[in-house]
């Protein structure tokens, strides 16, 4: 596990453009949404006393986005460098691969997110830390969901190879409208509301808004998000094992990178 972590640590450490890339996008995202939320705060009654809602949601969504993409990137890096087969003939259990990717993805995500969080205070006078202790649970819940999405996409990469790469990039954009990141679930048409209720994102972002607007924590939302996360994570891990088994039958582990 430590070996796989080291492989990506060496890669990031030696490449300034990679570090810059990790920091650049979250920072741009936060600055953009910071100005949009300033505009809303000036012209909307709803957001009148809660300037930070959109910005806080943007930071949380970016955390989710980065964690999922980081997980996928660790896989894609191996495919692009044609190192994939070397890893799968190394004596690593699937569980060890998953655990090392989960921790390495977390570090990649934090490298990008911490500077973005630090930027919000001097630029917009907002600190995401105002969410208090529940922030930890919200981050944890988002990270689990991000990793789960990463597992789904990586399973596709193992089974179908690099042709699955586009799905890796677009997976989160597909879920964003249903996740109700910036608006309450009631905004969605009824049919989409039914689908959205099956996603932990709805409960996480609903609770974020609730804490900021009402200054009150509804742990039911947080717990419900964790229940859903547990189900999806279990499916994600099972799918990863299944994909590996299918790839061994179909031979896709040998032709990876072609």
Partner 1 sequence: MIEVINLSKSFQNNKAVNNINFEIGKNEIIGLLGPNGCGKTTTIAMILGLLKPTKGKILINKKNIENHRIELLHKMNFISPYIELPKKLTVKQNLIVYAKLYNVKKIDERIEYLSSTLRLDKIINSLTGELSSGQKNRVSLAKSLINNPSVLLLDEPTASLDPETGNFIRSFLEDYIKQKNISILLASHNMEEVKRLCTSVMMMKNGNIIDQGAPSELIKKHGRKNLEEVFLKLARTEHEF
Q: Which residues bind partner 1 (CB under 8 A)?
A: 2-4, 6-7, 10-11, 14-15, 77, 81-93, 245, 248-251, 253-254
CA end-to-end span of the chain: 26
Q: How far is the CB of 23 from partner 1 (least distance, A)?
A: 18
Please state, in angstroms and rounded to a whole number, the distance separating the CA atoms of residues 176 and 185: 12
* CA gap 169, 102 in Å, rounded: 18
Comparison of 223 and 250: residue with beta carbon closer to partner 1: 250
Instruction: Determine whether 160 is exposed, middle or buried from the number of CB atoms within 10 Å of its CB (0-12, 13-18, 19+).
Output: middle
Q: How far is the CB of 151 from partner 1 (least distance, A)?
A: 20
Closer residue to partner 1 (CB): 14 or 163? 14
Task: Pick the closest to residue 139 from 149, 123, 150, 128 (CA basis).
Answer: 128
- Report, in Å, the least distance between residue 89 CB and partner 1: 5
Is the Cβ of residue 163 or residue 249 nearer to partner 1 in the bound state? 249
Tell me the closest approach of the beta carbon of residue 245 to partner 1, in angstroms.
Answer: 8
Query: Which residue lies nearer to partner 1 by CB, 77 or 206?
Result: 77
Q: Which positions ≥6 away from 173 have C-beta within 8 Å?
A: none
Contact at 8 Å (CB) between 103 and 74? no
Question: Minimum distance between the CB of residue 94 and partner 1, rounded to whole angstroms?
Answer: 10
C-beta of 163 vs 166, nearer to partner 1: 163
CA distance 215 to 209: 9
């Amino acid at each position: 596990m430590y070996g796989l972590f080291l492989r990506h640590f060496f890669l990031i450490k030696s490449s300034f453009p990679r570090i810059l890339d990790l920091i650049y996008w979250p920072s741009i995202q936060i600055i953009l949404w910071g100005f949009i939320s300033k505009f809303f705060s000036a012209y909307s009654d709803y957001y009148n006393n809660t300037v930070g809602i959109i910005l806080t949601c943007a930071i949380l969504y970016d955390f989710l986005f980065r964690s999922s993409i980081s997980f996928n990137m660790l896989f894609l890096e191996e495919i692009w460098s044609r190192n994939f087969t070397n890893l799968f003939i190394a004596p690593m259990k699937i569980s060890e691969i998953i655990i090392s990717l989960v921790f390495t993805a977390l570090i990649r995500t934090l490298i990008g997110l911490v500077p973005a969080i630090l930027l919000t205070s001097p630029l917009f006078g907002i600190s995401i830390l105002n969410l208090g202790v529940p922030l930890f649970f919200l981050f944890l819940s988002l990270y689990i969901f991000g990793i789960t999405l990463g597992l789904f996409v990586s399973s596709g990469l193992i089974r179908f190879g690099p042709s699955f790469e586009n799905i890796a990039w677009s997976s989160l954009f597909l879920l964003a409208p249903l996740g109700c990141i910036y608006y309450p679930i009631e905004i969605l048409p009824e049919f989409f509301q039914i689908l959205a209720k099956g996603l932990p994102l709805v409960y996480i972002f609903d609770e974020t808004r609730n804490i900021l607007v009402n200054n009150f924590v509804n742990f039911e939302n947080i717990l419900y998000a964790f229940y859903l996360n547990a189900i999806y994570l279990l499916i994600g891990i099972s799918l990863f094992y299944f994909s590996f088994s299918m790839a061994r039958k179909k031979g896709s582990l040998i032709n990876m990178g072609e």
